[in-house]
Structure 1
Amino acid sequence: MSRKFQVKTVPSSWIEHNGRRLDCGPYVSGAIEAKEVLSRLAFKKDKLQDLTKGGINGLVNPGRITRIWVDDPAHGYPFLSSTDILQADLSNISHIAKSVARQNSQLLIKDRWTLITRSGTVGRMAYSRSDMNGMACTEDVLRVIPCEEKVEPGYIYAYLCSKFGVPLVISGTYGSIITHLEPHHIADLPVPRLGEVEDQAHELIQRAADAQVESGKLRNQAGAMVNEICGFPQKLASGARIFAYSSANSNDVLRRLDATFHNPIAQQAEALTKAANGISLSSAGVLGYESNRMKQVFVEEGYGTPFITSGGIFSKTITPERYLRNQLLGEDETWRINEYDTLVARSGQVGGIIGRGVWTDSRLDGFAASPHILRLRPTSEEFPPGYVYAFLSLTDVGYQLLARTAAGSSIPFLPLDAVLEIKIPTTPSLQQRHEIDELVKRSGELRKQSQELEKEAVALVERTIEEGGR
């Protein structure tokens, strides 16, 4: 439910059916409207807890845990936060100690579950993919474990994240918005049984999940190719900034005196690119763009340009966060995201999203970029865009070179001129660079396909319910 001023007209029968409540919240949120539509359905309806494994025990809140972090993956499990479950790339998440998971077996998740954020922004959902199987997940996420003998897991997900499911999930017993989601809040949530539509929705959701997994494999393959050809290790350091000491030539400190720029990990990364015959990104024909800081005036859809922030670019589902007033945008289009750009988060804390890159598939083409996003745009056929992205964002060498450029103490940022001085290897042959480029482009297409399939599944469920409720 949006917090902006809203007006909604409701039938008097809704008020009669809901204890003559006159506060606007339950009606505007959509929860009561969803209940009214579902009540008119000719379809059979089951309670959610009757479709989960073990009844209400299939709605899992694992409880609070003590977080013990480890650097070595051999001693931990990848740990998904309530934000991570919505991300496309899970390769950079933290690891929690295996001893924590042994104390609470409900911490680990399996694929084909529905994951729902239960605090903060309640009701954001994800379908657990095969690459999430066996990972640990925060207690701030509720697990919905379907009984696959009774219902297809993809259908449960498609229904819960539909315009009928979401309002019911986030509403309390009487329609008020809840701040913490517990199993009993959604145990009796009605689930319409839609026959063959359930199988169709499940197939679409499963295909969407498989496309995301395949996309990740192609990205990993592209990064591994760069590492192998250039002789780069898979990992240089456990963290972006670790306690260390080093020495630097006096000529190297004329422009940057901060110690983190000259840390030994960064020096090692620089030496590796030098050995791989690296030349600067600018010399390789890569152009860099940064949006000017301006007064941001947002308007309704249809009256402005889609706008996205540095956090939004990492999401599995790309949607405009807001719409920026067109009159504020310059004619030179330095604000514009183009397909095949490499987007780099330029602000934040080192070790977080700063320095992390995202490949621009066609979903982001034409968006306006936040000032906290750098756009790198290759212009030379000798350095195709997918190769530039793979080096900077899919290898630890590229990431360390980006992270070292961070300047500032409170909120570090990446200066564009320093980023364009990063050297990109020329050791891979032109044919190899184009092979890497093709892997990245195929990965981007699969991400787009995944979002379209998931959207199609949800639309199918919503359309079937609407047509059955008339």
Structure 2
Amino acid sequence: MKLADLDNPVRASWLADQSFRLDPGPYISDSYAAHMFLKRVPRTEPLGEVTSGIFNAGRFKRHWTTDPEHGVPFLSSADIFQADLSTLAMITKKCFRANANLALEPGWTLITCSGMTAGRVTYARLDMDGYACSQDVLRVVPDLDKIPAGYLYTFLASPLGIPMIKGGIYGTSVKHIEPSHIVDLPVPRVDADVEQRIDSLIREAMVLRAQFQTGITDATHDLFKSAGLSELIDFNWHDQPRDVDFSVSGLTSTSLRALNFSPRAQRILDALHSVPHRTLGEICATGQLGRGNRFTRVDSDSKHGFRLIGQRQAFWQRPEGRWIALKSVEAEMVRAVDETVLVASQGTLGDSEVFCRPAFVTGKWQKEFVFSEHFLRIVTGDSGYPGAYLFAFLRSEAMFRVFRSMSTGGKQQDIHEGLRRQIPVPECAPADRQRIAETVKQAYRWRDEADMKEDQALALLDEAVREAAR
């Protein structure tokens, strides 16, 4: 059952606005309630008047490449929410130059405008500068002479902005939002100092997110350089000879699947075996190297439940998992210990799928979230090989391809239990391992701080708008 917000009750003027309809639907609509609430704010301006443009890129032919020298990273309507942008596909520079509307600039507000997730909001980060972006994403370009970019984003991403954006959705099986549907959306204006404080928080969050991306990338590069495996830093799977016409001898009952003996993957493993190493099974012998526990999902709310993160949400910048009810014992079973590496371990083999991609759990994530059983949980049992160090290794493109080569199963793939234990992990020097681990942990501290600043910006906006509406 859905109830009207007690802070924003149904008013007599609403009845008149809706021709005195007495059915509850219009009055408990989040979009309608937000519009009515903002009418109480002394000063609002239409979105179209505080922006220099609201547009999408339009349809265009996509020509793909795997060569960074000839490509531009491409963001789909799902990619704009990803925390780690290092695994993006690329379109050719020729294709990119043919459409001037493809490129993003930091500070723009991005709104998904097609599909079942239409109406989700984020912003173009510093490390998205110059990236190409799908036509399924609206770009809201702030007029900086009229409104701070961070303030505009915070409003559009707030509990007031999102319902009004989604109120413009049309369509049946495929949802859509057009620029004309949101151009008249009322933007509340509050004290200029408050707007600038909110903008400053968002700009600081953008810098921290860029530092996060740089930190985890540098940690992986540092690991391979320290191990004497620089050739694996910019490893390009598609540049390797194809896995055709090869033979394997000495087979055992471990596996008979051809994919598990991929020559391309075997060359990576041979390189890892050529340096001092320990197997992943040895490192996790007294830790964990297995799937999570299964459990019954019972929907709950944020006051009484736990936020469950699945394979897709684990890679988002700000996860939006469902709330479920769990007993305290169950919650501890599905919570991840600090510095757990979670590898998406069920899925299919498309290059854009998350199957075999790793996520790292520490800080706020470890305290606030529980995780589905569809992850391979990697917990070190050796303090000399911290979880952060393992993550820096496992997030590499080379290890993604090794995990993929260990696939087993039918439609939904899994990672072979025996083969994953045999993965060689470079030893490096103890000082190198600690330095690399600290780089990863610092990156995740920056990420948590960025989340905190965005939350502070939303809280400031909520307080200022409610004060203005009194």
Structure-1-length-normalised TM-score: 0.91
In 2, Cα distance between equivalents of 1:303 and 1:152: 37
Structure 1 pair 235–199 and aligned structure 2 pair: CA distance change class (3 A): same
| Aligned 8 A contact 2:248 2:261 in 1 | no
Matches within 5 A, 1:150-299: 150-172=146-168, 179-194=175-190, 195-230=192-227, 231-233=229-231, 234-239=233-238, 243-245=242-244, 247=246, 249-285=248-284, 286-299=287-300
Equivalent residues, number: 456
In 2, Cα distance between equivalents of 1:274 and 1:196: 59
SS in structure 2 of the partner of residue 205 of structure 1: helix
| Aligned 8 A contact 2:309 2:370 in 1 | yes
The residue that corresponds to 1:40 in the other structure is: 40
SS in structure 2 of the partner of residue 104 of structure 1: coil
In 2, Cα distance between equivalents of 1:452 and 1:291: 29
SS in structure 2 of the partner of residue 325 of structure 1: coil
In 1, Cα distance between equivalents of 2:299 and 2:387: 31
| Aligned 8 A contact 2:348 2:355 in 1 | yes
5+ unaligned residues in a row in structure 2: which ranges? none
How far residue 304 of structure 1 moved from its aligned partner, in angstroms, is 3.5
The residue that corresponds to 2:376 in the other structure is: 374
In 2, Cα distance between equivalents of 1:396 and 1:122: 30
How far residue 405 of structure 1 moved from its aligned partner, in angstroms, is 1.3
The residue that corresponds to 2:310 in the other structure is: 309
Q: Does 1:107 align with 2:102?
A: yes
SS in structure 2 of the partner of residue 337 of structure 1: coil
Task: Among all aligned residue pairs of Structure 1 and Structure 2, give the percentage whose two residues are the same amino acid.
Answer: 30
How far residue 210 of structure 1 moved from its aligned partner, in angstroms, is 0.9
Structure 1 pair 455–242 and aligned structure 2 pair: CA distance change class (3 A): farther
The residue that corresponds to 1:129 in the other structure is: 125
| Aligned 8 A contact 1:318 1:363 in 2 | no
The residue that corresponds to 1:341 in the other structure is: 340
SS in structure 2 of the partner of residue 298 of structure 1: coil
Structure 1 pair 145–271 and aligned structure 2 pair: CA distance change class (3 A): same
The residue that corresponds to 1:457 in the other structure is: 457
In 2, Cα distance between equivalents of 1:105 and 1:300: 44
In 1, Cα distance between equivalents of 2:391 and 2:41: 50
| Aligned 8 A contact 1:115 1:127 in 2 | yes
How far residue 236 of structure 1 moved from its aligned partner, in angstroms, is 3.2
- Partner letter of residue 306 of structure 2? T
SS in structure 2 of the partner of residue 329 of structure 1: helix
How far residue 348 of structure 1 moved from its aligned partner, in angstroms, is 1.3
In 2, Cα distance between equivalents of 1:135 and 1:20: 50
Matches within 5 A, 1:343-422: 343-350=342-349, 351=351, 352-366=353-367, 367-393=369-395, 395-422=396-423
Structure-2-length-normalised TM-score: 0.91
How far residue 180 of structure 1 moved from its aligned partner, in angstroms, is 1.2
In 2, Cα distance between equivalents of 1:252 and 1:436: 37
Root-mean-square deviation (CA), in Å?
A: 2.5
SS in structure 2 of the partner of residue 413 of structure 1: strand
Deviation larger for 410-419 or 133-142: 410-419
Give the counterpart of 1:84 among 79, 88, 96: 79
- Partner letter of residue 416 of structure 2? P
In 2, Cα distance between equivalents of 1:253 and 1:23: 69
How far residue 173 of structure 1 moved from its aligned partner, in angstroms, is 10
| Aligned 8 A contact 2:57 2:101 in 1 | yes
How far residue 21 of structure 1 moved from its aligned partner, in angstroms, is 4.7
In 2, Cα distance between equivalents of 1:242 and 1:108: 33
The residue that corresponds to 1:61 in the other structure is: 56
In 1, Cα distance between equivalents of 2:422 and 2:301: 40
5+ unaligned residues in a row in structure 1: which ranges? none
Structure 1 pair 131–284 and aligned structure 2 pair: CA distance change class (3 A): same
| Aligned 8 A contact 1:59 1:143 in 2 | yes
| Aligned 8 A contact 2:169 2:176 in 1 | no
| Aligned 8 A contact 2:64 2:92 in 1 | yes
